[in-house]
Amino acid sequence: MIVGELRNRRRATTSIRLTFASVGDPGEPYPDWVRALRDVSGVYAIREHDGRRPVLVYIGESHTGRLYQTLTRHWQTWRRVGIGRRESAHDPGVWYARSRCEAAVLVTPADRAQCLQDALIEYLSPRDNLVRATSLECPQLRLAVDAGPVVLDDDDTPF
């Protein structure tokens, strides 16, 4: 293949399906699918029902095997006392009413979670992700996203 052909070739589109499921009501144990996220890395998306329709509000990730803790912190009400949004480098994140939320999860290898998170934020523009991309060197992805957990093995991850 000559160089001109390489430049004109379109990059394949990566299809991702986000299947949202309930995270339960306050005071209830988290559903089995959420509890199964202990000791794994990946990306999550949260949508909130505002009474009319679900709104994609946040996309996050864990690349340290703490996906369960990173996801469920969004339903812990102790944060943000006296702190405005994004006023601190150690901002713990946004809190949501658990009874109005659903989440979708992509379990990925740890070294791919941050780049996939950034690509999904760029593609889907969730309401509360105010900081768009990290300084990581991530490959550009062409995504087609369809909004339980979807598990991506090393061979299935798009980069």
Note the pLDDT tens digit of each residue in 42-54: 999 999 998 888 9
Residue 108 or residue 152, greater confidence: 108
Domain residue ranges in the chain: 12-151
Residue-level pLDDT at 25: 93
Confidence label for 22 from pLDDT (cuts 50, 70 and 90): very high
Q: What does the block give as tokens for 32?
A: 């089995």
What average pLDDT does the chain have?
79
Q: Are 148 and 33 in contact (CB under 8 A)?
A: yes
pLDDT tens digits, residue range 90-132? Answer: 455 688 999 999 999 999 999 999 999 998 998 899 999 887 6
pLDDT of residue 72: 96
Which pLDDT value is given to residue 71? 96
Report pLDDT for 95.
Answer: 86
- Give per-residue pLDDT as tens, 67-86: 999 999 999 865 445 544 44
pLDDT value at residue 32? 96
Predicted TM-score (pTM) of this structure: 0.76
Q: What percent of the chain shows pLDDT beyond 70?
A: 69
Q: Looking at per-residue confidence, does 149 or 146 come out higher?
A: 146
